[in-house]
Amino acid sequence: MNDFLEAIKPIDWTVFAPILINIFAAIAVLIIGWVFAGWAERTVRRRLGNSKGLEVDDTIRPLLAMVVRYGVVLATMYAALKVSGFPAAPLLAVFGAAGLAIALAAQGTLANVAAGLMLIFLRSIRVGEYIQASNVEGTVLEIGLFTTEIKTSDGIFITAPNAQIWASQIKNYSRYKTRRIDIDIEIARDNDLAQALAVLQKALENHEMVIVPDKAETVIAGFTPTSVKLQARCWLKAANLRAHTSAVRLALHEALQAEGFKLPPVPFG
């Protein structure tokens, strides 16, 4: 300890003290700025999602919050450089060159950023929509700068790179409010097929869940040696498609059953 004290006695602390103070001040600015950036991001998300504030679409809100966060972080870094006493302009030039080198080395990451911006501004997908793209399928939770968060129908959380989604064909099951369904029903070939079609057509037109009954139609879709395939086509609301489809399917079955139409014979073996 004595040796250490003897070693630092020749140091002129009047020279180093301002430098140390500036360094500690810069560190304090970085800490405060980092905390403030997180607070600003949370505030923007909350205020832009509040009906009493500036209500913004759920798809764009995360992007705006991230822009605010990174803007505060960059401003904090610049302020820390100024407080530390180092000339900011040369350091920013160095950071710019380093950023260019990193950008060239991380082209895949930048591709995800570009794809995320395209997904958001072209509105290919939106938060809350059910989509199928590449190898992912589910409800969109959030479109970030780098990844898209998706919840599958069985409750699994998935993060997919934006570039992977953008580069693939996207099936959006929620964009339109109505969907067309085709229901296949097999009956025995010795039934009165014209009467069977009429019964199915009437059941479709009278069903409360069928949208625009005039567009509903029933046709013969094919034959087998012992049966005929009838197909009923109609439009339903997309909001609860599975349940509505099941209800229409049941109504068609009950309509045929009530008229005594025979089912195809059960094959032996």
- pLDDT tens digits along 137-178: 999 998 888 889 999 989 999 999 988 898 889 999 888 889
Average of pLDDT values for 213-228? 90
Do 60 and 19 lie in a common domain?
yes
**Per-residue pLDDT reduced to its tens digit, 47-70:** 776 666 566 666 677 777 777 887
- Distance, in Å, from the CA atom of 150 to the CA atom of 12, rounded to the nearest integer, reads 60
Residue 113 within a domain? no
**Per-residue pLDDT reduced to its tens digit, 110-124:** 788 888 888 888 888
Q: Which long-range contacts (CB under 8 A, 24 or more apart) does 90-99 make?
A: none
Do 64 and 148 lie in a common domain?
no
CB count in 10 Å sphere of residue 165: 25
The domain boundary residue, chosen from 139, 172, 205: 172
Do 91 and 14 lie in a common domain?
yes
pTM: 0.62
SS3 label, residue 54: coil
Do 88 and 152 lie in a common domain?
no
CA dihedral 251, 175, 157, 35 (to 10 degrees): -150
Question: Any alpha helices (H) in 106-229, and if so which ranges?
Answer: 107-121, 162-166, 193-206
Do 100 and 30 lie in a common domain?
yes
pLDDT for the residue 8: 47
Residue 110 within a domain? no
Angle formed by the axes of helices 88-105 and 61-84, to 10°? 140
Residue 18 within a domain? yes
* Range of lowest pLDDT (22-26, 153-157, 256-260): 22-26
Residue 59 within a domain? yes
Residue 198 within a domain? yes
Question: Which residue's structure tokens are 């580069």?
Answer: 167
Do 18 and 91 lie in a common domain?
yes
Residue 158: which domain range?
126-172
